[in-house]
Amino acid sequence: MNQSPLDARSAVENPTFPNPPSGDCPLWRKAIGIPLVVLALVVAGCSSPPPRPPQRLVADQVVVKKSERKLMLLSRGKVIREYRVALGDNPRGHKMHEGDERTPEGNYVLDWRNPRSNYYKSIHVSYPNSEDRFFAQLMGYEPGGMIMIHGKPNYVRSPAVMKEYDRRDWTDGCIAVDNREMDEIWYAVRDGTPIRILP
């Protein structure tokens, strides 16, 4: 059957499409349904809870073994971290008086901290206790103080020089660790945590 020019123009401007094929799940519905499923999965993924952050390290005791140059963080009697330390220039024996460059031995408390230390960060050891003061006075000396756990000197910038500090005792009686280790100790240890310093 021949179409008139008017009929042909009408067919172009208003095309008609065949009815979709019958069936339970026609292809055109599948084509629409797949993107919707993908979108639903993406939305579900976005709404899932974020992963839990790693559990923060918490120590309830600190132990230092001077002869082994070792500082240990403990939790419920179990060692959870170990660090190599540097001590005073004269490390053997208990600190007896100011200026002897010894690291004290005994039971103390980590009682306050300094985030603006000249040695990166520092945590104070509660030396001298009443016994330390008594024996220092018997000998006619001042017992000294300001014993800290701290990092490396802020004025040292050279990595090569920094490494030299890892190989020797260099403090005036304090307990020194690497700066990254000091960060870990800083967050793991609360003020009031007991510290035991052994020979």
Question: What's the pLDDT tens digit per position in 151-179?
Answer: 999 998 888 888 888 889 999 999 999 99
Q: Report yes or no on 94 lying in a domain.
A: yes
The three-class DSSP label of residue 115 is: coil
Kindly report, residue by residue over 59-74, the tens digit of the pLDDT: 999 999 999 999 999 9
Strands, E assignment, 68-142? 70-75, 78-84, 106-114, 122-125
d(CA 114, CA 196): 21
Confidence tier at 97 by pLDDT (50, 70, 90): confident
The mean per-residue pLDDT over the stretch 83-107 comes to: 91
Note if the pTM is more than 0.75.
no
Tokens of 185: 């100790």
Q: Report yes or no on 6 lying in a domain.
A: no
pLDDT at 139: 86
Structural domain tally of the chain? 1
Q: Report yes or no on 17 lying in a domain.
A: no
pLDDT at 123: 98
Residue 87's domain is classified under what CATH number?
Answer: 2.40.440.10
Which residue type, as a one-letter code, is found at position 154?
N
pLDDT at 166: 85
Q: Report yes or no on 18 lying in a domain.
A: no
Percentage of residues of the chain with pLDDT beyond 90 = 54
Kindly report, residue by residue over 98-123, the tens digit of the pLDDT: 888 899 999 999 999 999 999 999 99
Q: Report yes or no on 3 lying in a domain.
A: no
Q: Note down the domain range covering 113.
A: 61-198
d(CA 185, CA 62): 10
Q: Report yes or no on 110 lying in a domain.
A: yes
Kindly report, residue by residue over 13-31, the tens digit of the pLDDT: 444 444 545 445 454 444 4
Residue 140 has pLDDT above 50, yes or no: yes
Q: Report yes or no on 49 lying in a domain.
A: no
d(CA 160, CA 87): 20
d(CA 174, CA 165): 14
